[in-house]
Amino acid sequence: MPIPRPLRSTLYRGFAAAVGADVGESALPPSAYATFDAFFTRGLRPGARAWPADPATAGSPVDGVVGRFGRVTDGMALQAKGRAYPLAELLGSEREAARYGGGAYLTLYLAPRHYHRVHAPVAGALIATRHIPGRLLPVNAPAVALVDRLFVTNERVACALRTASGSVAVVAVGATNVGRISVPAVPGWSPREAVGAALEHDPPIGLARGDELMVFHLGSTVVLLFEAHRLRRSLARGAEIRLGDPEADPA
């Protein structure tokens, strides 16, 4: 719903103060956003984030909080202590999941205070985009700790990239009130209109590191998979990470 311009700054700044968002990083002043969704999915002003000097280093695709990370074992990744899930179900493809055997996974949680656009962590080619239908359960810390196979139960969009350092997958997992994930990297394609669709890109869509992939229209979780990159030892569970922060180096 459009919000009258005289009310926008007060409403948006009030929301930002309540959740801890920094409106000073926005590309436009608060009054320029006609709807709450436009404000929530706002872009960053130029220079607000930096990427690693080494172009082969993968940077964080989002602002968020680091969750579980580690090595893929027997086709499984860890959601929480004692709770794992199969990558084949996460990606909606046994063939694609097989690429990540022995690779690395990294989970990033986005809170309402965070910037909500998802970017390519490394340069490459987008070869497939899949929408996997599911539920919209909460993905907050208690839910992640208590609900089995949460990330493969919820609705999600998976982007498969081929890079100079092997395959990389970026999976946007929906949550309560987050049933809308848009994909600006694929113009004209909407998960809402293509429920359960697996779109193979021929030719592949070239992406530079930092190009926009997806947008969350409210907060949720991103799961990253790396075929050959090594996760940085500096990663720490529970730590804040910002778009572009180094997270993985090529093997």
- Active-site residues, by number, are 63, 119, 220
For strand 166-173 and strand 221-226, is the pairing parallel, antiparallel, or unpaired?
Answer: antiparallel
Measured CA to CA, the distance from residue 52 to residue 69 in angstroms comes to: 20
Largest CA distance in the chain: 56
- Spell out the alpha helix ranges (H) of the chain: 5-19, 36-40, 87-91, 94-98, 141-146, 150-153
CA-based torsion, 112, 116, 122, 125: positive or negative: positive
74 burial type by CB count under 10 A (0-12 exposed, 13-18 middle, 19+ buried): exposed
Omega into 142 within 30° of 0, i.e. cis?
no
**β strands within the chain, DSSP E:** 58-59, 64-71, 76-80, 83-86, 104-109, 117-119, 124-132, 156-163, 166-173, 181-182, 198-207, 212-216, 221-226, 230-231, 240-241, 246-249
Q: Is 114 exposed, middle or buried (0-12, 13-18, 19+ CB in 10 A)?
A: buried
Q: Compute the C-alpha angle 171/174/175, nearest 5°.
A: 145
Structure tokens at 84: 């794992």
